[in-house]
Amino acid sequence: MSTLLTPRPTATTSLRVVDPRTRRRKFTSALMKVVLTATMVVAAVPLFLILYVVAEQGWSVISLQFVTQDTVPYRMEGGGFRQGFVGTGLIMALAIPMAVGLGIAAAVYLVEYGKGKKLASLVRFVTDVMTGVPSIFVGLFVYAVLVVGTIEIGFGTLAAAIAIAIVMLPIVVRSAEEMLKLVPDSLRNASLGLGARRWHTTTKVVLPAAAPGLATGSMLAVARGAGETAPLILTGLGTLTMTLVLVGERQSSLPQLIHEHAVQPFPEGIERAWGGALSLVFITLLITVIARVIAARFARQREGL
């Protein structure tokens, strides 16, 4: 009886011993981390090189005079891109409400009201196509319809703003649609269960929950629109002096001035082009930072609730 109660010795494995499969998984994980880190570094090298070259070439041009004076002839020193800064500001001030407002409204329809409808599929298809259309075609369309076509408002700020808004619109729609899809359905069901109407749920629950993503996507679209050149050549046409008129007078822009000064042979004009490029990079960086700050603020407010 005592023999039956005696426990049999069992083989035990020390905790210091690592299983071969565990060792292989650790090695694979470490290898993939190294590969992904190296890939990220390689992808970032061209970006940092571009920023370095633009900053090196354009830093000497940036001054108060560059922002407060209009352009002088290409072979002359001095002058600035005042009309480009003012023109870009006016164009974007008109384009942002059009693109962001229509884009978020279209995304709300696609996600909240258009499920399973043919119109929603058509809108989504057209948006996908517009995302890949070269911006020069947008400029040609606005030129043919608004500048010299049926409406014939002529070259100017409004025509340029409409072209830029069309370029920005598909980016806003696609990004806003994805952000709205990330909102849990439980929030919608809870609001509807409490007796709220569909539009009230959308405006008071869904949109605030997706606000950080909507702000980020909209700002990225703004950064894309601020750097477009091709549509502005056919709509704004450009001018040598600053103008505040929205319709009927030619309007300049920062990307267009950069292009015009970069393609001519005089060193003075090329230097101003580098300065304009650095200014445009700074504006794009500022817009991106603003988008991040807005997204973080909305996130903190949501966590506080």
Kindly report the three-state secondary structure assignment for every residue of the chain: CHHHHCCCCCCCCCCCCCCHHHHHHHHHHHHHHHHHHHHHHHHHHHHHHHHHHHHHHHCCCCCHHHHHCCCCCCCCCCCCCHHHHHHHHHHHHHHHHHHHHHHHHHHHHHHHHCCCCHHHHHHHHHHHHHHHCCHHHHHHHHHHHHHCCCCCCCCCHHHHHHHHHHHHHHHHHHHHHHHHHCCCHHHHHHHHHCCCCHHHHHHHHHHHHHHHHHHHHHHHHHHHHHCCCHHHHHHCECCCCCCCCCCCCCECCHHHHHHHHHCCCCHHHHHHHHHHHHHHHHHHHHHHHHHHHHHHHHHHHHHHC
Contact call for residues 274 and 50 (beta carbons, < 8 A)? no
The predicted structure's pLDDT at residue 1: 46
Dist. CA 186–CA 267, nearest whole Å: 62
| Cα separation, 170 vs 192, whole angstroms | 30
Place of tokens 């279209």: 106
Return per-residue pLDDT of the chain as tens, 305 residues: 445 555 555 556 655 666 778 788 888 999 999 999 999 999 999 989 999 999 999 998 888 899 999 888 888 888 889 999 999 999 999 999 999 999 999 999 999 888 888 888 899 999 988 888 889 999 999 999 999 887 888 899 999 999 999 999 999 999 999 999 988 888 888 888 888 888 888 888 898 888 888 888 888 898 889 888 889 999 998 888 888 988 888 999 999 999 999 999 899 999 999 999 999 999 888 888 887 787 777 777 666 55
CATH node for 64-304 = 1.10.3720.10
Q: Could you give the CA distance from residue 203 to residue 34 in angstroms, rounded to a whole number? A: 45
Closest CA to 156 of 94, 246, 253: 246
Q: pTM of the entire structure?
A: 0.83
Kindly compute the dihedral angle of the four CA atoms of residues 40, 43, 44, 46, in this order, to the nearest 10 degrees: 160
**Could you tell me which residues are beta bridge partners of residue 237?**
251
